Amino acid sequence: MKRGLFVTVEGTDGCGKTTQITNIVDYLSSLGCRVILTREPGGTRISENIRSIILDPAFTEMHSITELMLYSAARAQLVEQVIRPAIANCETVICDRYIDSFYAYQGYGRGLDMEMLKKITSLAINNTMPDITFFFDLVPEIGLRRRMNAANGDRIENEQMEFHRRVYHGYRQLAKENPERIKTIDASRSVDEVWEDVRRQLDMALGFVREV
């Protein structure tokens, strides 16, 4: 490839992203890809500090516009410092959340104007779009139960269930509108079954044809 592959991973909290990201990184590394793993918000010194503010459960008074600006600032820094240089260097970038999270959480979840979000996003990402996005489809009632059993919730996880339902609906709508890029994976199944679907999609993105 003349440039690296850019893969993003999306879904509501507790959908199993972390496990599958590990599988993706291990698999692509085994194929000889140079893999850069990062996350949103985060991935740089500045962005990680912004992340700590966004997710701190103590900041319950945070205004939705403040939140969207913080997310966008963290994203802009990550794109320019990590993602674009890595792709240009023919490295494969795996990002845990990206623009679809922004649209799902801030657009559908918070009810902010989508056109405004798209304009801000365009400025932040500088035309840096994923080649393939995995949406791990799991209803929030199940996902959040998994998540809460594992750890105390952050500021976003602690939102009311109706908020998470709106986010989930947003993800499904985004996947419906962008089927070529966003691959919907049924995350209610076993880890192995989910991974089989993910690996098949990765192979197609890399131009492989797997034997049935």
Cα 169–Cα 175–Cα 179 angle in degrees, nearest 5: 160
H-helix segments, 56-190: 64-78, 84-88, 99-102, 114-125, 140-150, 161-177
Percentage of the residues of the chain whose pLDDT score is greater than 70: 92
Sequence-ordered list of residues with C-beta below 8 angstroms from that of 70, at least 6 positions apart, any chain: 41, 50, 53, 54
pLDDT(146) > 80 = no
- Entry pTM: 0.92
Residues 5-43: tens digit of each pLDDT = 999 999 998 899 999 999 999 999 999 999 999 999 999
Residues 58-115: tens digit of each pLDDT = 999 999 999 999 999 999 999 999 999 999 999 999 999 999 999 999 999 999 999 9
Beta bridge mates, 168 = none
